[in-house]
Amino acid sequence: AQTVTQSQPEMSVQEAETVTLSCTYDTSESDYYLFWYKQPPSRQMILVIRQEAYKQQNATENRFSVNFQKAAKSFSLKISDSQLGDAAMYFCAYRSARGASTPLVFGKGTRLSVIA
Amino acid sequence: DAEITQSPRHKITETGRQVTLACHQTWNHNNMFWYRQDLGHGLRLIHYSYGVQDTNKGEVSDGYSVSRSNTEDLPLTLESAASSQTSVYFCASSDSGASSYNEQFFGPGTRLTVL
């Protein structure tokens, strides 16, 4: 079974600075997808960024980017120019590519605080 | 606009009672999922369905059941609620189309307290 590990339960960053959230995963599969979700206090799950394992190029969405290291099974999220609205719980998630839409496997989450 | 809704948003019940949490999506998605979120555990899969009459157990399915009689709904039933089932419950849905990502869209969650 696949597992996802987020080793940082809590992180903090100064407004306008950059922060990196760590995620590692364990799988024997070669084809899969990786995601970062943001959960603000409203509880809504918001997809931040996604990566296909067969793509070597790291995904980027505005201020959010990932560092995908397939051999190391690492998928970290970098948030640049941090804003107060970035304060939230962040979850790393894995999905097998075996089927059209297999369930997600989540890490335990990292709570990010942004200091003004 | 298409959406996924959950009801109720909050519920308090007593140990031993049967509880049903509703999930309704208007995306016309084939796939639907139930997760529970607990502090220190992230989100864990309870049950999922790939279509009408199809249901599958997830990692933490004990004490829960689902049934899929139409495309839009996947209700989650707690047969005899236990305090260990106090949690926030999320429903999600996704398509099985040509898009490789087949993104899962999440409902707003239901906070369930079992006293």
pLDDT in tens, chain B (115 residues): 779 999 999 999 999 999 999 999 999 999 999 999 998 889 999 999 999 999 999 999 999 999 999 999 999 999 999 999 999 999 999 987 666 567 899 999 999 999 9
**Are B88 and A108 a contacting pair at CB < 8 A?**
no
Contact B13, A74 (CB under 8 A): no
Contact B29, B94 (CB under 8 A): yes
Task: Count Cβ–Cβ pairs < 8 Å, chain A vs chain B.
Answer: 54
Q: Which long-range contacts (CB under 8 A, 24 or more apart) does B57-64 make?
A: B58/A103, B58/B33, B58/B34, B60/B36, B64/B34
Is B52 strand, coil or helix? coil
pLDDT digits (tens, 9 = 90+) for A46-99: 999 999 998 888 998 999 999 999 999 999 999 999 999 999 999 999 999 887
Q: For residue B91, give every residue at least 6 positions away whose Cβ sits within 8 Å of its Cβ, in sequence order, or none.
A: B4, B6, B21, B23, B25, B32, B33, B34, B35, B74, B76, B106, B107
pLDDT confidence of residue B41: 87
pLDDT confidence of residue B99: 60
**Are B42 and A50 a contacting pair at CB < 8 A?**
no
Q: Report, as an integer, the average pLDDT of A31-38.
A: 95
pLDDT confidence of residue A76: 97
* Residue in the block written with tokens 């089932």: B85
Q: In chain A, whose CA is at the least distance from the CA of B98?
A: A100
In a mutational test of the B interface, the residue from A50, A92, A96, A101 whose CB has the highest number of chain B CBs within 10 Å is A101
**Are B42 and A106 a contacting pair at CB < 8 A?**
yes
In a mutational test of the A interface, the residue from B100, B105, B112 whose CB has the highest number of chain A CBs within 10 Å is B100
